[in-house]
Amino acid sequence: MSTALLVLGILSALTAAAAVVRGRNIGPLIVPYFLVAWLTGELVPHLFVLQLVVAAALIAGGALDEGRGVIGLALLIAAWIPMAIAQWRAVRAEPELRRALREGLSRPDESPGELGKVRSYVPYRELVNPFRMHRPAVEVLCNIAYGDAGHRNCLDLYRPAQRTKPLPVLLQIHGGGWTIGDKREQAKPLMYQLAANGWACVAANYRLSPSASFPDHIVDVKRAIAWIRRRGSEYGLDPTFVAITGGSAGGHLAALAALTANDALFQPGFEEVDTSLSACVPFYGIYDFLDRDGAFARQSMKSFLQRYVMKCSHDDDLAAWERASPVSHVGDCAPPFFVIHGTHDSLALVENARAFVAALRGISTAPVLYAELPGAQHAFEVFHSLRTGHTVNAVHRFLENIHAQARAQRSAH
């Protein structure tokens, strides 16, 4: 029992430290560090309760009869300090998101109401059961084909079970380093929240590397947009308002799609379809394949991108690498953006997002919102947590606001 308590104390101390220390440039340890920091940082209350229960059981079994058990208990108690810091950082997400909305929108506190009330709290049920996503008010249609590449050209549609009006659309693009991932795995808290409040959410797969090479990934994203434009009305969607979101590689592809509206190079065979987007909400994306600002330093992705995604070096085809970088396409016709990134992201470094936002704000005439969430790791909003809930609420408010403006403009004309 004493040894078990010591092991619990050591593991608790290590995982708690990972949740508050920003790990970078640690080579092959980066992925296991990310996994530990991510899960610990988002599940602090659950881990705290689990540690208490296990420790109480061990102590009741005599774990404190030996010095090892006492040391283990001391380490466990010490671990609760960084865990408290991690939870405090999660609490601070709400004022940071509110600041971004206040600075970026003319009427950030307006809830148009027609599409459902934007909540200002995080439901207790989501915090208690972070992996429960289903809502009775939401209908899900799976594996609708939008292209010819089999399962990689299929999408899932989340929409209200009861519908009376055409639904504005949010297209979700999954991450996974352009090489793995599936439409069923990410952004479900956001999609279920929107679908329960009068939106349609489309989660699309796309061809993956190394079988696929750029620009196959973005071509598929454009095909999904084209499907919404051409066939969305058959499913109750409003093809005149399509926003896009995604995380990591999905954030890259979402931003790239938003900044390359109607680019014929990315729409082979369907050049005539309007692929413009009404808004973009990229999460922890990669915005410059060339890393011109040196954000990634020794953690550069260039060799990975060259081998698996681009299939050429930037020296051999600099233009292709430029085309693949959202920052290269920034212009005054960009749609409204809400860029969201965590300060402690160990896979997509926050400096890259800062540089992208600065470039957007330097030329775009549309709102550019930026929320830098204290302590947030990569993929933080995959399941329910306090930080996820506040972020979902803020994105919902942003999209409602932009949609209300678009609706008012259409009415004026």
Indicate if the alpha-carbon torsion angle 364, 369, 374, 376 is positive or negative.
Answer: negative
| Catalytic residue (one of 174, 252, 378, 384) | 378
Neighbours of 343 (CB within 10 A): 14
Place of tokens 């750029």: 214
- From residue 349, give the alpha-carbon distance in Å to each of 248, 256, 403: 11, 18, 30
Dist CA 20 CA 37 (whole Å): 8
- Beta strands 237-247 and 167-173: pairing type? parallel
Beta-carbon contacts of residue 359 (< 8 Å; ≥ 6 apart): 327, 330
| Catalytic residue (one of 2, 12, 248, 325) | 248
274 among known catalytic residues: no
Angle at the Cα of 379 from the Cα atoms of 374 and 385, rounded to 5 degrees: 65
Place of tokens 């058959």: 234
| Catalytic residue (one of 291, 345, 364, 396) | 345
The three-state secondary structure class of 123 is coil
248 among known catalytic residues: yes
Burial code of 74-109, b = ≥16 C-beta within 10 A, e = fewer? Answer: ebbeebbebbeebbebbebbbebbbebbeebbeebe
Q: How much of the chain is helix, strand and coil, in % rounded to 5?
A: 50, 15, 35
Query: Which is nearest to 155 in space by CA: 192, 193, 183, 186?
Result: 183
Residue positions annotated with a catalytic role: 248, 345, 378
